[in-house]
Structure 1
Amino acid sequence: MLQLFKASPKNESGIRKVVQPSSPVASDKQNDQKLSPRFKDRKNHNQLLLKDQIVTVVERYLIQDENIDPENMTEVRIGQRGGFGRVYEFVNSENKQMYAAKIIDKQTLQKLRKKQKIQSEIQLHKRLEHPNIVKFEHFFEDEENVYMVLELCQNQTLADLLRRRQFLSEFETRYYIKQIISALKYLHNAPLRILHRDLKLGNIFLDSKMQVKLGDFGLATQLIQDNDLKQSICGTPNYMAPELIMAIGDSQTNDLKLCGYSFAADIWAVGVIMYSLVCGRPPFETPVVEETYKKIKKVNYIFPTEEQRKRMGLSPLSYEFMDLITLILQKDPRMRPSLDQIQSHSFFTSKYIIPAELPQYTLTQAPSKEFISHFKNDQLKKPDQIKKSPRNNLVILAQQSKTPELIFNLEFLEENLELKRLELELIDESLLVQRWADYTKKYGIGYKLTNNTYSVLFNDHTSISQSIEQQSNQMFSYCSVQTKDKKQEIQEYSIQSCPKILEKKMTLLRSFQKYLQQMELQTMLVPSYLDIRENVKNLKDIHVIQTFQGDKCMLFMMSNQQIQSHFNDNSMIIIDKKRKIGVFFSPKHPKVPYSFYINNPEEIKKIKPSAYKRYQIIQEYEKSSFQQYNEAKLQQLITAAIRQGEFYKRTQYTRVGWNQDNGYEYWIFNSKGNQQKRHYD
């Protein structure tokens, strides 16, 4: 015999009492006598009545009346309101068993689409069994409502937690995201292939042991194959992926490739949840939904600066956190990492071991430093191991799980990992111009590098420099003009025995140094994590060999085949000719660089238009600076030739150019008027 219960209105004390409903009790025969005609059409209790449509569901309501007495179900507390109904807390006072009941008023189920959503939610949810997914217990219905009995999560949702705490630490975020990923891997993998489509803080619950429980499958859908694409528009605006929003307009083209979306939409939502927990609000949140959509489609978001977080009493965002967020929030869904790759990112594998459980007090306050100290990871990878590991891990991953999604993404991911490796190499081998003072009209340009070396590049293309170590030893370095074998001789001198010819240049170095030190309090011109590099070895000989001042940026050509460009808006691009890559530092994301191959400008234009525009400016300025440099060099040579009597007029040369095989080419006339060809390497 079945026994059903429903919540009655609140009494004077504000506590609801459970009473027997007028819905089916005892046997089917009794039901037929008590129910209205539209209920008589039901064959058994496996059938869920939605208005005049009968939907058959496999599972019966299994709670027997000998196990639950209505008189013991005395306290019912209202929980949150969902898209289709309210959630109540049912307490059995005899055995203290507690449930959550989602109660949906049938008056809200007049439209067929809403009926189908409830049907889909029940059919999908009751199949799921995972430690990080809310357990579906039973369902039933009466004349007024549909009831879904679920596992109770006493500690509410991550949305409630964030409202109380405002911000969560990266330590806690790792803990929660790891469990969310575990639930999603279970849903996404065969045979389920379930796409949640409404991942958000309000749908992620916490049980009594602070374990994550993913819930609310009202918008979930099942894919037939891993590479299937969905087209229907649903979800919560702040968490929707660009391809999902773009489907609104692109669906009219009937091109599935343009307007479809798949598992990558859930992965995008994971990135939004991560950002929200640590930064306190979703990355694309605005008061107007249309503006939110615009920001999502452009992937327009910023990280809070170190100064902003300091004012709120928070620690700076780690490079690992910002790097992972940047990898996940990619406009192209194919470029987003898989769940396995997210889990193996350094954000999860370095610094701290993820605890099995967080203490209850973290519901209202941050975990103590003492608690966190127990989970420090003492077995961190060395930098060289980190560089070599990604590609090997990817090969192993491909061998272990050759899913269509992984095969589809493998080419993109391999290229990304190789680009990331080159980026790390570039950063390791870079010394950036931090500050400079341009006096090229008279002397040259003085600058300070990020290893605290002060230098001057003079108009005669020689340079003088003094590192912090040389300052303590009363030494300095002098770099002569480039020789024919394309090398510049760097000699070290003692200040006490400084050659007379260099005394004036040494005096100018001191003047530039004093002037630049007065600029120390100004805003940094490089990302802060590259600011101090005093202990980096094998970088002491890196120096500026040429500069170009444009109206939009300043170019520095370095001796290690790099071009550093500092733009007026404080963005910066490093072009590495040797590796054929570029790294773009945006003022909005100063700690998370965007890397690109310089031989693929169309790809840069597609993925990062702001980087593409700046790269075009650099190319234009580079040509101008090269021509300027050629003319200056040629002028020096002609002046020298005139002094030797080889020319009777300074204007008797025709042109200057560049030959890849021979270097600089120029044509001159001798004193007899005969044309001669010369090379300068």
Structure 2
Amino acid sequence: MDEYIIEQTITKSTGEKITKQYAKGRLLGKGSDTEVFEVVSLENKKQYAAKIYSKAKLKSGKLKQRLKTEIRIQTKLSHPNILKFENFFEDTENIYVLVELCSNKNLFELLRRRKRLTEMEAQCYISQLISALKYLHSQKIIHRDLRLNNLFLTEKLELKVGDFVYATKVEFEGERKKSICGTPNFMAPEVINGSHSYEADIWSIGIVLYTILLGKPPFHTDNSQKTYSKIKSGHFSYPEGCSISDSAKELINRILIVDFSSRPSLDQILESDFFHQGYQVPKLMNLSTLVAPPSEPREAKDMQEYKETKETRELKETKDIRVNTKRNSVPKKTEKLTAEQFKANVKMTGNIFTGHGADGEIYVKKWIDYTPKYGLGYLMSNGNCGVSFIDSTRMILNAGTSQFFYMDKGNTADKPLITEYNINEYPDELKKKVSLLQYLKNYLEADTEVNVEESDGKLPIYLKKWIATRHALVFRLSSRLVQVNFMDHTEITISCDMRVITFVNRKGEKYKVPLFKALQGNNEDVIRRIKYARDALSHMIKFKI
């Protein structure tokens, strides 16, 4: 049999045999007992992750029992944040366990690329982890190996808990498990001491939170015995000058307590101040966070610029209620808001940036990046205003009309569900987003001259995708125009249809040349920036940003 083809033989009750084939693709991971490959069903073209256990290595009774437990437990689970079990079978050499394929790998790979995550990302992922644990614990299951490698990320960056090799089912109320298992850095002290239950998973949440915020586990040493000793002592510290918030430290300190009975419950973790910092925790992170943080501020002093105190939030909520009671709707187009009023209402602290664009093209003229709280607001050169929200939905308002388009995520990132609405008539669930769109429109239009084009009523050119890096902001428009604004105030605009580029230097001078001439020219600065734009664009396409 071809080594790149995996065959599953199914024998029907009639004795008839059916063969299903899977093409083996790239290696996804490797452990001491297993290899994980990407596989594709030749029958329906669906992709899976296949954990392959060599029968030659399964001579140990413990390994066989773990495999049986993993299959028995995972076949009965069904939850949005649990890795979906698909199938298992065997041949003469191996046992195959097929599970849902997560194209963005796992939190370990994300942390390896990013070094550490922002608190907003931590809130998003830990919330999903807690949702999974609530379900598991309700099914009387303890995972016992919650580490970054086992927290997988789908193509939409949805977190999925996987790898149930060490999972166990609690058979009766108050049962304490005796097995010492798991990964040293993430093991709870009571697991090491040989008597544990659900609280061991709570401990692992604290380890995961510390690790993704600070880049390494709190009890890490150069050997497992030293690590075990540190874990059992419960003594850990924070790096000097670390920038995480007091509420993050407080939560970690409450979780990483040796006395398991003193740890907070899953609900108490979600109720902690860490998850209530003045902005709404996104359900899913933007795909751009695979390569860059959702916002530049990381230090505590910068965080304070966009965090609201409890008193401010309460005052704002009271004010919003009063406004809505009076108007019973969002502000209409004729009800203008000044930039000062916008700042007062929305607590905007970001800076407005300006693009030069290419002559004859519609481009992003002004924008404000306020991702931690709302999203990115932008004004097009033709006067249309849009918002790319943090939940991956988008909205664009046709200038000079009451028409706007709302783009929901739909079934795929490339084919959003697009709906047309009137600014004075739309579903209630869009009220906050429409309000924000109108606020941003007035804020970005202040002191700005734009040539408003007559609308044909069709979907206008809008910001389709964007990504922020350390050196630039990259915009992909629905017109296939790529606009790259560098931090040193230079800019490159690439027209994919016309295959021409417009380069704007630091003095604001524009140069428009065919793309092939620019690449063959002697201006190394321009060539370097084109290549940077190309690489950033490749990242966006590769990661479906």
In which range does the TM-score fall when normalised by the shorter chain? 0.5 to 0.7
| In structure 1, C-alpha distance between the alignment counterparts of 2:199 and 2:308, rounded to whole Å | 32
| 3-state SS of paired residue (1:382) | helix
Residue of structure 1 equivalent to 2:279: 352
1:70-469 map, 5 Å: 70=21, 73-74=22-23, 76-92=25-41, 96-189=45-138, 192-247=139-194, 260-306=195-241, 309=242, 316-369=243-296, 381-382=310-311
| In structure 1, C-alpha distance between the alignment counterparts of 2:133 and 2:168, rounded to whole Å | 13
| In structure 2, C-alpha distance between the alignment counterparts of 1:75 and 1:118, rounded to whole Å | 21
| 3-state SS of paired residue (1:334) | helix
Question: How many aligned positions are there?
Answer: 312
| In structure 2, C-alpha distance between the alignment counterparts of 1:203 and 1:174, rounded to whole Å | 18
1:2-13 map, 5 Å: 8-9=2-3
User: Is the 1:298–1:331 contact (alpha carbons within 8 Å) kept by the matching residues of 2?
Assistant: yes
| In structure 2, C-alpha distance between the alignment counterparts of 1:207 and 1:187, rounded to whole Å | 20
| In structure 2, C-alpha distance between the alignment counterparts of 1:28 and 1:262, rounded to whole Å | 46
Deviation readout 1:289-341 (Å, 9 max, x if unpaired): 111111111112111222xx4xxxxxx21000000000000010000000010
| 3-state SS of paired residue (2:37) | strand
Cα distance change of structure 1 residues 226 and 169 upon mapping to structure 2, 3 Å threshold? farther
| 3-state SS of paired residue (2:310) | coil
Q: What amino acid does structure 1 have at the position aligned with 2:283? A: A
Residue of structure 2 equivalent to 1:635: none
Q: What amino acid does structure 2 have at the position aligned with 1:275? A: Y
Cα distance change of structure 1 residues 28 and 380 upon mapping to structure 2, 3 Å threshold? farther
| 3-state SS of paired residue (1:78) | strand
| In structure 2, C-alpha distance between the alignment counterparts of 1:102 and 1:322, rounded to whole Å | 37
Deviation readout 1:459-488 (Å, 9 max, x if unpaired): xxxxxxxxxxxxxxxxxxxxxxxxxxxxxx
Percent of pairs with identical residues: 42
Residue of structure 2 equivalent to 1:35: none
| In structure 2, C-alpha distance between the alignment counterparts of 1:25 and 1:242, rounded to whole Å | 48
Cα displacement (A) at 1:26: 7.1
Give the RMSD, CA atoms, in angstroms: 3.1
| 3-state SS of paired residue (1:88) | strand
| In structure 2, C-alpha distance between the alignment counterparts of 1:276 and 1:28, rounded to whole Å | 54
1:10-25 map, 5 Å: 17-18=4-5, 20=7
| In structure 2, C-alpha distance between the alignment counterparts of 1:94 and 1:124, rounded to whole Å | 27
Larger Rg: 1
Q: What amino acid does structure 2 have at the position aligned with 1:297? A: K
| In structure 2, C-alpha distance between the alignment counterparts of 1:159 and 1:123, rounded to whole Å | 26
TM-score, length-normalised on structure 2? Answer: 0.53
Cα distance change of structure 1 residues 94 and 221 upon mapping to structure 2, 3 Å threshold? closer
Cα distance change of structure 1 residues 333 and 107 upon mapping to structure 2, 3 Å threshold? same
User: Is the 2:24–2:37 contact (alpha carbons within 8 Å) kept by the matching residues of 1?
Assistant: no
| In structure 2, C-alpha distance between the alignment counterparts of 1:19 and 1:113, rounded to whole Å | 26
Cα displacement (A) at 1:149: 1.1
* Higher relative contact order structure (alpha carbons within 8 Å, sequence separation ≥ 6): 2
| 3-state SS of paired residue (2:82) | coil
| In structure 1, C-alpha distance between the alignment counterparts of 2:116 and 2:87, rounded to whole Å | 36
Cα distance change of structure 1 residues 91 and 29 upon mapping to structure 2, 3 Å threshold? closer
| In structure 2, C-alpha distance between the alignment counterparts of 1:131 and 1:166, rounded to whole Å | 27
Q: What amino acid does structure 1 have at the position aligned with 2:46? A: Q
| In structure 2, C-alpha distance between the alignment counterparts of 1:173 and 1:380, rounded to whole Å | 20
User: Is the 1:24–1:142 contact (alpha carbons within 8 Å) kept by the matching residues of 2?
Assistant: no
User: Is the 2:277–2:307 contact (alpha carbons within 8 Å) kept by the matching residues of 1?
Assistant: no
Structure 2: tracts of 5 or more residues without a match? 315-545
Q: What amino acid does structure 2 have at the position aligned with 1:381? A: K
Cα displacement (A) at 1:92: 4.3
Deviation readout 1:526-581 (Å, 9 max, x if unpaired): xxxxxxxxxxxxxxxxxxxxxxxxxxxxxxxxxxxxxxxxxxxxxxxxxxxxxxxx
Cα displacement (A) at 1:27: 7.1
Tell which deviates more after alignment, 113-122 or 264-273: 113-122
| In structure 1, C-alpha distance between the alignment counterparts of 2:103 and 2:46, rounded to whole Å | 12
| 3-state SS of paired residue (1:358) | coil
Q: What amino acid does structure 1 have at the position aligned with 2:199? A: A
User: Is the 1:18–1:76 contact (alpha carbons within 8 Å) kept by the matching residues of 2?
Assistant: no
Q: What amino acid does structure 1 have at the position aligned with 2:280? A: I
1:487-566 map, 5 Å: none
Cα displacement (A) at 1:226: 4.2
Cα displacement (A) at 1:147: 0.9
Cα displacement (A) at 1:82: 3.4
Indicate the structure with greater helix content.
Answer: 1
| 3-state SS of paired residue (1:205) | strand
Cα distance change of structure 1 residues 110 and 209 upon mapping to structure 2, 3 Å threshold? same
Residue of structure 1 equivalent to 2:481: none
Q: What amino acid does structure 2 have at the position aligned with 1:265? A: A
Cα distance change of structure 1 residues 26 and 188 upon mapping to structure 2, 3 Å threshold? closer
| 3-state SS of paired residue (1:154) | coil
